[in-house]
Amino acid sequence: MTTVASPFEQWILRPDPRPTAVLRLICVPYAGGGPAAYHAWPRALGGAVEPWLLRLPGREARLREPPLDNVDEIVQQTAAAIAPELRSPFAVFGYSLGAWVAFELVRELRDRYGLRAAHLGVAARPAPQTPMRHPPMHTLPDNDFIDVLDRRFQAIPPMIRDSPEMRAIYLPALRADTTALETYRYRPGPQLDCLVSAFGGTEDADCPSTDLQAWGELTTGRFQLRMLPGGHFFLNTCQQQLLDALSLDLLRALVP
């Protein structure tokens, strides 16, 4: 007999369920990524935090599903799946494209479901109200698309670049996520009232500190900006520093 996953289980991976945890942390991956981007986080964050890793269609366990290419659709479907299981306090963290999804998810949970986040963490992505710095690339032919992505983010492993089979697996989600990123438009609305933490890489030319600083305009709560050593994917090269800083901010968010 086959067990059908609930909407929550379809959208959220709980690698280490912690019913007594003080806080739930919803982790949103970067473009083309999935829960594996945060595989080390449950142990590193300690028992007080229970990570909920977002499972988007078109990758990992949901590889056979068509990926979504619109931020609003991603946010609405995610919120509908998790809201019945979510309780305060909770926080949301998003990396690169995931930062914009995380921001809109916090707004959707607040506006539609009356659930207020204690903390929003964003990394490697300018604030959504800042102008785009690059021409769109999501409509480029495959080879050009991969070349531009690799030049900007150094994000395409040789195994994907050189293998038609691997391209067929990973490119649809990567292109859908890039489409979502480049077609997203920020809509002004009520400010958040939670602590917002922004993280950037000192060598990430795509996301300067001035663009990260603009995240502070989106909340009436406290704002913290930290620049960490590395390029766009300092998540991989500077993970412990990121986790140490994020853990501190999660603690601060729980203190009035």
Q: Which of these is catalytic: 6, 88, 96, 163?
A: 96
Instruction: Tell me, yes or no, if 6 is annotated catalytic.
Output: no
From residue 65, alpha-carbon distances to 59, 62, 170 in Å are: 8, 6, 12
Query: What ranges in the chain are assigned the alpha helix state H?
Result: 7-11, 41-45, 71-82, 97-113, 142-153, 158-161, 164-183, 209-213, 234-237, 239-253
- Tell me which DSSP letter residue 188 carries: -
Distances (CA, A) of 57 to 5, 44, 84, 177: 14, 26, 20, 11
**3-state secondary structure at position 238:** coil
- Rounded Cα distance between 250 and 90, Å, is 9
Q: Cα-flanking dihedrals φ and ψ of residue 5, to 5°?
A: -70, 145
Of 13, 181, 167, 34, the residue nearest 96 (C-alpha): 181
Residues catalogued as catalytic: 96
